[in-house]
């Protein structure tokens, strides 16, 4: 028997990549939080495919009620880490809302969100939208098509309400970006004001992602911005129409991150590396061979302990398509990106973009020099941890060295104007110049005082 087992191990070693050199873990039992969204997939895959176990990690994954509960769990230590809105570690670190030093060594994905409106609003928008030869709406759809609708609501004394998932969420900033690009003011945050509705043409409020379709159906909101599968759920339920994806707002925009407290990473450096290794492997699996594993990933995500939506709803976007009006299915192969285009590398320029949007809408109340944006980005985003984990995977034969940006200074090349819906490019090295280029929003020394913009 001993000879058989020895032979089996030897054969396995020859047929497999190099064995991982197990890190000396400071902590091997971990609990991670997530929200029921498609982009939590790297966590589910790392668990189900055994990548955490390969690193000697015994992980429990727990769905959280909302983003605030999730963040509080990481801060108080109930959770060791979590699938987070990219704005959460940044906001916490600068003291906006919950105050704590949160860091990220791993970005979880690119793209993955959409903006959906109710059937009533869609019917009102359609006359304002150009059509293609086959009669279908021409995409991308500008928020200019929404302007007459908002004016119609205002004329009959009704506010136009839209939902987003959290004040520092990508969804809030993407929805605001789309509205402003079309000439609609989504409102400002002022000192002591957490609503963000000062001077608003469209009134945004928080709704947890899984509750978006029901809230839309109830008429409490007239549209929303959320991640999948909750836009496609509106199509399947026949209660709304997605009008644009975030890929169309900003091609290959950054989305969620994996967040931990800075204290955790300092006290558990090897554990942090091991977690990052497992997540990188999961991201590779999700995108490899032209998304060949996506159907298997959808089956995992459809389980009740993860996203819990129907397989068909999740597959509608995860497998490279997206449905707008019922039956209007279009190819969007990069709607969900988990590894391509260096999706998992925590770029400082991504962090800076989130900070510019916080400043643009008044969550950062005072003007900051460019150097401040760089310093905050570097205090939160940790590409050095990411690259160390990547190097270990390459050395173990589990990743290809060509897939990682070893020589990056942490800043992406500037986003070209044609990749953004308003035709304004973005360079993370020049945040104030970028803010100055945006027509609606705070710039320079401007600040919100009461209901006025001064400066």
For 206-225, the DSSP string reads E--GGGHHHHHHTTS-SEEE
Mean pLDDT by 10 residues, the chain (455 residues): 36 42 93 97 98 98 96 98 98 96 98 98 98 96 98 97 96 98 98 92 95 97 96 96 97 97 98 98 97 98 96 94 94 95 98 98 97 98 98 98 98 97 98 98 96 92
Bridge partners of residue 226, in order along the sequence: 114
**Are 267 and 221 in a shared domain?**
no
Tell me the DSSP string of 84-146.
E-THHHHHHHHTSSS---EEEEEE--EE-EEEEEEHHHHHHHGGGS-B-TTSPBPSSPPGGGG
Distance separating alpha carbons of residues 137 and 284, to the nearest angstrom: 35
- The pLDDT assigned to 173 comes to 98
Q: Nearest-CA neighbor of 144 among 186, 202, 183, 200? A: 183
Domain count, the chain: 2
Distance separating alpha carbons of residues 18 and 116, to the nearest angstrom: 47
Q: Within a domain: residue 355?
A: yes
Last residue of one domain, picked from the residues 231, 253, 275: 253
Question: The pTM is what?
Answer: 0.94
**Are 240 and 298 in a shared domain?**
no
Return the CATH number at 193.
Answer: 3.40.190.10
- The pLDDT assigned to 192 comes to 84
Distance separating alpha carbons of residues 165 and 172, to the nearest angstrom: 7
**Are 160 and 235 in a shared domain?**
yes
Q: What DSSP character marks residue 39?
A: G
Distance separating alpha carbons of residues 222 and 212, to the nearest angstrom: 10
Structural domain span for residue 184: 113-253
CA end-to-end span of the chain: 81
Last residue of one domain, picked from the residues 202, 218, 253: 253
Q: How many CB atoms lie within 10 A of CB 411?
A: 16
């Amino acid at each position: 028997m001993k000879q058989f087992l020895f032979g089996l191990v030897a054969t396995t070693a020859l047929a497999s990549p190099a064995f991982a050199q197990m890190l000396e873990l400071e902590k091997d039992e971990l609990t991670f939080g997530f929200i029921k969204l498609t982009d939590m997939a790297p966590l589910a895959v790392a668990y189900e495919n055994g990548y955490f176990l390969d690193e000697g990690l015994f992980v429990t994954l727990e769905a959280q009620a909302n983003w605030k509960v999730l963040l509080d769990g990481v801060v108080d230590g109930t959770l060791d880490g979590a699938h987070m809105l990219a704005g959460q570690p940044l906001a916490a670190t600068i003291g906006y809302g919950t105050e704590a030093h949160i860091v990220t060594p791993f970005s979880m994905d690119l793209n993955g969100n959409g903006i959906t409106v109710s059937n009533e609003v869609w019917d009102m928008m359609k006359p304002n939208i150009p059509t293609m030869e086959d009669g279908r709406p021409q995409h991308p759809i500008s928020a200019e098509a929404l302007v007459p609708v908002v004016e119609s609501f205002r004329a009959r004394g009704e506010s136009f309400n839209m939902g987003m998932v959290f004040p520092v969420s990508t969804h809030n900033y993407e929805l605001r970006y789309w509205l402003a690009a079309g000439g609609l003011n989504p409102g400002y945050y002022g000192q002591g004001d957490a609503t963000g509705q000062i001077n608003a043409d469209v009134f945004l409020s928080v709704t947890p992602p899984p509750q978006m379709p029901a809230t839309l159906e109830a008429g409490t909101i007239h549209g929303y911005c959320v991640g999948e599968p909750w836009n496609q759920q509106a199509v399947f339920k026949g209660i709304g129409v997605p009008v644009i994806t975030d890929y169309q707002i900003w091609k290959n925009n950054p989305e969620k991150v994996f967040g931990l407290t800075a204290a955790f990473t300092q006290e558990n450096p090897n554990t942090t590396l091991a977690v990052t290794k497992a997540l990188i492997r999961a991201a590779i699996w999700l995108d490899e061979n032209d998304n060949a594993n996506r159907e298997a990933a959808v089956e995992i995500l459809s389980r009740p302990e993860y996203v819990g939506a129907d397989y068909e709803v999740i597959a509608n976007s995860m497998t490279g398509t997206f449905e707008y009006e019922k039956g209007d299915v279009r190819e969007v192969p990069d709607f969900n990106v988990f590894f391509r285009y260096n999706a998992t590398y925590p770029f400082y320029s991504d962090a800076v973009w989130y900070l510019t949007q916080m400043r643009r809408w008044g969550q950062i109340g005072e003007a900051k020099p460019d150097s401040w944006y760089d310093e905050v980005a570097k205090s939160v985003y940790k590409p050095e941890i990411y690259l160390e984990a990547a190097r270990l995977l390459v050395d173990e034969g589990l990743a290809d060295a060509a897939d990682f940006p070893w020589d990056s200074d942490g800043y992406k090349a500037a986003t070209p104007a044609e990749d953004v819906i308003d035709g304004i490019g973005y360079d993370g090295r020049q945040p104030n110049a970028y803010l100055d280029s945006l027509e609606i929003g705070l710039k320079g020394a401007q600040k919100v005082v009461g209901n006025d913009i001064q400066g």
